[in-house]
Amino acid sequence: MVDTTELTRAVERFADWLRAAPQSRLQRGAAAEGLALARELALRAQRLEDPGAEPRTMPDAGVFSVADQLVVAGNDLAEVLRTAPAPGGAAAEQLDEAVGLVERAAARARL
């Protein structure tokens, strides 16, 4: 098992920022950045949980919902990584990749 605290903290920080961002900032691309990240994290979780299934796409629920969608997707991925019996440190590598995705998306959203 891997410690997924770093991922959940990074997701929460970005989600908190999105929740506090003005509507104009969200509409100028911050919400789109958050939704793209949520979709990617959800996709990764789905692929790990059920590799043979067709992944579902997270819907666009609007600029004011994206922070919650991000938290759900991030927590889902964290739980899958935490409990997955991934061989040879694969879960740790995937965790590091996910944290990097969150950090880069958060940086782009703040531009």
Residue 111: predicted pLDDT: 85
- C-alpha dihedral (33, 35, 41, 45), degrees to nearest 10: -170
- Which pTM was predicted? 0.94
Q: Collect all residues with Cβ–Cβ distance below 8 Å to 36 and sequence separation of at least 6.
A: 105
Say how far apart CA 44 and CA 93 lie, in whole Å: 13
Residue 85: predicted pLDDT: 73
**For the chain, domain boundaries:** 5-109
Q: Please provide the average confidence, as pLDDT, over all residues in the chain.
A: 94
Ranges of the chain with pLDDT below 70 = 86-88
Residue 38: predicted pLDDT: 98
Tokens representing residue 110 in the block = 């703040």
